[in-house]
Chain A
Amino acid sequence: MNYEWLKVFIAAFFEVFWVIGLKHADHLWAWLGTALAICVSFYLMIMAGKRLPVGTVYAVFVGLGTAGTVFSEIVFFGEPLKLIKLLLIILLLAGVIGLKLVTGKKEADVQGVE
């Protein structure tokens, strides 16, 4: 179960790389790295959908990818840090934790019934 979630988290981590890559890549190697990051992130996200509900996986993938990108833009590319961004990131993380909690419970319930 946790292993499946790890896939989603790593997928989101690579998503941050390719989103930044699409925006900032300016030479061949950067573009190749971006393409590789797209493949890795989508592969892991799709594979995580095998055991976890796909709707949940995709929402977490997109959500964490967005939070990570906004965070990286602030830390590495000098985007302004605004309170609203921090609040939204905290809200988003709360949603991800909530999803992980309810999904784990659901799975256990289903296994208990079967």
Chain B
Amino acid sequence: MAWVYLLLAGIFEMTGVALINKLHQDKNWQALLLLLAGFGASFLFLTLAMKSLPMGTAYAVWTGIGAAGGALLGMLYYGESKDWRRVFFICLVLGAAIGLKLVS
């Protein structure tokens, strides 16, 4: 069950990141509330997942799904650059961050 929570946390995080784009596009309260709800749900499920999973692993998986998924959604739906150098550097930053969370 902890892994299901973790997966949900990652998906909500990814949604939250995508909603930042929506907020800047729509500039209304609904978008802001959705954004806060997205990040809120993400933290809630992360906390639940951490009750039984090691903290480093949980953080690493959560960051990976949230940030990579968020970047992917940005490229698919919000016209963010698909330049290979950008994708490469995002992967480098996230790969290193995930590594740090796993070894810490």
The binding surface of chain B is classed by DSSP as helix
Q: Count A interface residues, CB 8 Å.
A: 34
Q: Count B interface residues, CB 8 Å.
A: 37
Q: Judge whether B10 is part of the interface by a CB distance below 8 angstroms.
A: no
Q: Judge whether B37 is part of the interface by a CB distance below 8 angstroms.
A: no
Residues of A within 8 Å of B23, CB to CB, are: 46
CB-CB nearest in chain A for B98 = A66
Query: How long is the Cα–Cα vector from A91 to B89 in the complex, in angstroms?
Result: 10
Please report the number of residue pairs spanning A and B whose Cβ atoms sit closer than 8 angstroms. Answer: 114
Known: A58-B70, A70-B104. A92 touches B86 (CB 8 A): no
Residues of A within 8 Å of B51, CB to CB, are: none
Q: Are the CB atoms of B100 and A102 closer together than 8 Å?
A: no
Known: A53-B81, A63-B94. A58 touches B17 (CB 8 A): yes
Partner-A contacts on B (CB < 8 A): 17-18, 20-21, 23-24, 35, 39, 63, 66-67, 70-75, 78, 80-81, 83, 85-86, 88-90, 92-97, 99-101, 103-104
Return the 4 tightest CB-CB contacts between A and B, nearest first: A55-B71, A95-B92, A92-B96, A95-B93
